[in-house]
Amino acid sequence: MNGRIIGSGKETIILAHGYGGDQSIWDKILPKLCESYKIVLFDWCFSGANLLKHHFDAEKYSSYEPFADDLIALVDEMKLESFIFVGHSMSGIIGCIASIKRPTLFKRLILVSSSPRFINVEDYEGGFDIAEMEEMFRNIEEKYDVWSTNFASIAVDSSDPPSVDKFDKCLKRMGVEIALPLAKSVFLSDYRHILDKVITPCTIIQTKVDFAVPNSVPTFMHNTIKGESTVEIINTNGHFPQLTAHQEFLNVIHRVLTS
């Protein structure tokens, strides 16, 4: 998983990237965080930065639970006993699952642009209809390079072209053979039922406008998570505040961890 520890400090923060990404997604915030914290970085098995990504098993990773097991195995190998977990997008929910399995490991969950369900149902706004998801899956399968470029321009605030390009390159390195089954695992998932089992204190970070996560989702998560939780809205568009509003993102992290 390319796990590594950098920085210094008494507290440890784990940074976990989301779909299509790799640990470089956190580069803008690392210099400041490393001044005060030990930082754990890694690449999920699906990441294009992981040289062993050919070991990705679509059937095994058709749910988030094996990812949570991988996370726990990583921290056990690193002999980490207590940490703050920052999970972007799908990693936020993976962190929730891991915290249910091993609650004593997690001091705080910081859930960035995360969602327990992306599909709309009668009593819940996830952001997408199933027909939209099926069209996205077809585009991934039939014209992946075009889709990845378009997806990056929607997912990342278009006013920050270098960050759009960064995520586009990450997606392309992942490749269609992983991107398609993983997209189905992520965008068809439903983990609303686990939230009332999460007892770890949570901070939910959301941007003002996120194409993938409507603002009703963090409210739902806040109201459903069993432990103490708060919602922080960052004044930027898109799914990647750590890229497009990194200073405000750092300010939120600092305020949460020092309050």
Hey, which residues are catalytic here?
89, 210, 239
Distance CA 172, CA 206 (A): 26
Distance CA 37, CA 169 (A): 29
Amino acid at 178: I
Kindly list the distances between the CA atom of residue 48 and the CA atoms of 138, 150, 172, 190, in Å, as whole numbers in the listed order: 21, 18, 8, 25
Output DSSP code: residue 49: T
Cross-strand pairs, 202: 109, 229
Where do the DSSP E strands lie in the chain? 4-7, 12-16, 38-41, 83-88, 106-112, 202-209, 229-237
Token digits of residue 193: 């039922």
